[in-house]
Amino acid sequence: MYMQALIQKYNVPGPRYTSYPTVPFWDESTYTRSSWIKSLQKEDASREISLYIHLPFCESLCTFCACNKRITKRHEVELPYIEALLKEWSMYLEILQEKPVLKEIHLGGGTPTFFDPEHLKYLLETIKGSCELPEDISFSFEGHPNNTTVNHLKTLSSLGFDRVSYGIQDYNPKVQLAIHRIQSFETVKSITEQSRAFGYKSVSHDLIYGLPMQTLEDVIATINKTTALMPDRIAFYSYAHVPWTKGNGQRGYDEKDLPSAKLKRQQYEMGKKMLEEKGYIEIGMDHFALPEDEMAIAFQNKSLHRNFMGYTTTKTDKMIGLGVSAISDSWFGFSQNQKNLNQYYDSLTQNELPVSRGHILDETDLIIRRKILNLMCHFESNLDGLDINTQLEIKNDLAEFESDMLLTVQDDFIRVNPAGKAFIRNICMAFDLRLKAKKSESQLFSMTI
């Protein structure tokens, strides 16, 4: 009964904090292409970068997905898009001035494996050839079990990729039909085994709870099948219902088809229990890993990082996002590309960086960003560096969590209790000064539970 009361109390819309400030509260009045470029050219900044490449094309629409994508079966779109990516990259090479040290690449989407392996090879070899490559690189991609081929695995492995995540979501045919993501366990088993045969040292499966038509029994069955394959990492995401997002397929079913907040929490707690019984360690929010996996090690030694790519074991101050709608991060500023593909192409045709909006962080932003990052990665933080009034405001907001035994505050140090991990988004909201200053009348975020 106690947990049910907390779920009712804290189940409110809230950010997932892949950044601070969160995108809806960016201050675009201080952002220009020039200010964004200056934030990348800070003196004494490291040459190390991470690279996110957004590949938006999918052959069919998954109705649970809120990502920026373009649905098409026309594969002739591949090469023009890759040429556009390379032109954008050439612009960043000029901006960065010095030859970058490429620590990390992540291919996201959309469906990266929509692209022909030879086209991906052309893109990646060109980018790699323009950078210094350290020994400790981390290259990963998102694969669709239905269209990731042996040639994809072989080609990307030869380019240094050794991490792959497969979107599974749920194995129940009724749920798969509702979300338009149909794939068999046999297909997933085959591609998982093939990935390991090609030397991928970290294979991840992405699961979602809270999906339309999904029961507690569905989650149990999906976890059982998943752990039979023992992927190195498991992302166990809460379904984010945001049907108001433009171009979103989530209008394809009714909200009455979604599990209640109570059932959704039961799905998570059962999944977590089953994963921990199989030896997985809970990492930050939504993630689990086997103890020997690098993500589990990073969590244990407090070197885990979080950015627009999610949790990562590689921390660089600069993360460049290439492609339509991709977001870049200089640590001192954020910048998002054009969301419309034609506008993205048009900017590049005019030899302009295809950015559309962003945010330059002020001193308080930088401090709060670190506090929230520590909470999301390590379940602890402090109030150092903030003025007295801000500290008092945050402490007042945290007092309710403390009375609910979700966290402890001692000498301005905050540690989230095990029960509080389920409410980490709510706890971060206590630090989110921009969210509190600009309360919106419309719902911008998914529910926290």
327 annotated to bind ligand = yes
For residue 17, what are the contacts with CB-CB under 8 A and spacing of at least 6?
A: 306, 372, 376, 425, 428
Q: In Å, what is the CA distance from 166 to each residue of 148, 231, 252, 346, 358? A: 9, 10, 23, 33, 30
**Angle separating helix axes 78-96 and 117-129, nearest 10 degrees:** 10
206 annotated to bind ligand = yes
CB atoms within 10 A of CB 109: 25
393 annotated to bind ligand = no
Q: Which residue is it, tokens 């602890």?
A: 380
Strand order of the sheet with strand 48-55?
A: 281-283, 287-289, 233-238, 202-209, 161-169, 138-143, 101-109, 48-55, 318-322, 327-329, 333-337, 355-360
Of 300, 238, 306, 244, give the one whose Cα is nearest residue 449. 238
58 annotated to bind ligand = yes
CB 314 within 8 A of CB 103: yes
44 annotated to bind ligand = no
**Angle separating helix axes 78-96 and 341-349, nearest 10 degrees:** 50
142 annotated to bind ligand = yes
215 annotated to bind ligand = no
2 annotated to bind ligand = no
181 annotated to bind ligand = yes
391 annotated to bind ligand = no
Tokens of 402: 């403390």
268 annotated to bind ligand = no
109 annotated to bind ligand = yes
214 annotated to bind ligand = no
CB 51 within 8 A of CB 320: yes
Annotated binding site for [4Fe-4S] cluster: 58, 62, 65
Q: Mark the binding-site residues, compressed into ranges.
A: 52, 58, 62, 64-66, 109-111, 142, 169, 181, 206, 240, 327
Residues belonging to the binding site for S-adenosyl-L-methionine are 52, 64-66, 109-111, 142, 169, 181, 206, 240, 327
